[in-house]
Structure 1
């Protein structure tokens, strides 16, 4: 991967010359969604922390703004398009590109939107919006965004609407599944990386299907054609935590599965 900047760091692009690897492919031959989000996260690290131009610039001066801080993922909204599931059918793996732009700035939070497309044809495979809360590394409490940073970049926001994912509460009679968090899901910020929760949802859903817990969602292969994921996080989780996961089929939309996670009796996801 390598990153480039446009308009003084207001936009960033990351080229992905070799996107597909063995671990990226699910048993049905489709791309694992947690691996996709892992790739998107790596692209964010590259443009935010690795110099992307001769002056040493990064996307939105992110490395300078985050000095002494880290981010907690508050919400994620991802949409996948038909061509995403056709990548594996292309004879030659296409060169892909991730484009980053700023989409919201709050007091201590910001959103960025990432678009994954084909470098040659321009086809859009997926887009994902991430809203993160900036956390003081010492206190692990929310920290306000620096005034100098807001003045420099606030004008370039596209959309300027916070990403709000409504909190849902598990229904009576929901299927339950417990997951012990492994150490391998720990990230650089010393908490569980958000991509791992996608895998926990899949594990829970597979178990629910095997046990006939969903009224109409019976075919496991449908989990390989997901068109969207909405996630909201309320607290950090750590290795050896036990996640208590509840899942149910949305009564108003049987194609939608809902998940609720708690840890130590408190809401987590």
Structure 2
């Protein structure tokens, strides 16, 4: 059994240009870049096949899990042997928890986990939390909860998404998606997903926020 501990996705301006003009070919490169005792880090890159420009990059940390205890366990010997050349490398930076001591949520969005969001590990699939947080941000932007984004969330280009998985949730659980802005990161919305008093996930979304000259130029 394997659980995702965290993942980070970066989008370049070229990615958003590609989205605006669909139909161009892309290629992917994927490889394991680090192997530890209980986890490994996997990197995927997307390129424009014609220009070879990098469009997006994702790093994901996957942890080997004991099915009974649902706690980390050592990777199998064959994996350590096969990827021994990656075990002595410096560990790449991974997503770390952010401080919640002075947080005052600007917008809260409730979610009840439906059966369709459950995966083979009998918990909410890691990809669903991205959707929950996007829906929270979209609803909050429409209600004027944030200063950096407002109206239609699709009007803003995403620069990066970081996710840190803290605990599990299951079908029927009621989740509370808390969101706020951080003055130390003025282009960013942060999220804390909670189930009762338990912290389930932290997410950080950063946007390409246009400057005033960019906005005026776009009007021409």
- The answer to whether TM tops 0.5 is yes
CA distance in 1, matches of 2:146, 2:112: 23
Shift in alpha-carbon separation, 1:223–1:130, aligned structure 2, 3 A: farther
CA distance in 2, matches of 1:173, 1:73: 26
Deviations 1:179-225 (A, max 9, x none): 11111112232221211111111111122222222234324346641
Q: Which residue of 2 aligns with 1:123?
A: 53
CA distance in 2, matches of 1:158, 1:97: 29
Give the helix-richer structure, 1 or 2: 1
Q: Which residue of 1 aligns with 2:85?
A: 155
Deviations 1:67-94 (A, max 9, x none): xxx2111111110011211224446x23
Which residue of 170, 182, 185 corresponds with 1:238? Answer: 170
* Runs of 4+ off more than 6 Å: none
Unpaired segments of 5 or more residues in structure 1? Answer: 1-69
Q: Which residue of 2 aligns with 1:113?
A: 43
Aligned residues: 199
Deviations 1:232-265 (A, max 9, x none): 0111111211111110011123210010111132
Unpaired segments of 5 or more residues in structure 2? Answer: 202-220
CA distance in 1, matches of 2:45, 2:88: 13
Q: Which residue of 1 aligns with 2:195?
A: 263
Q: Which residue of 2 aligns with 1:77?
A: 8
- TM-score (norm. length: structure 1): 0.67
* Cα RMSD after superposing both structures: 2.2
Give the strand-richer structure, 1 or 2: 2
| SS of match in other structure, 1:255 | strand
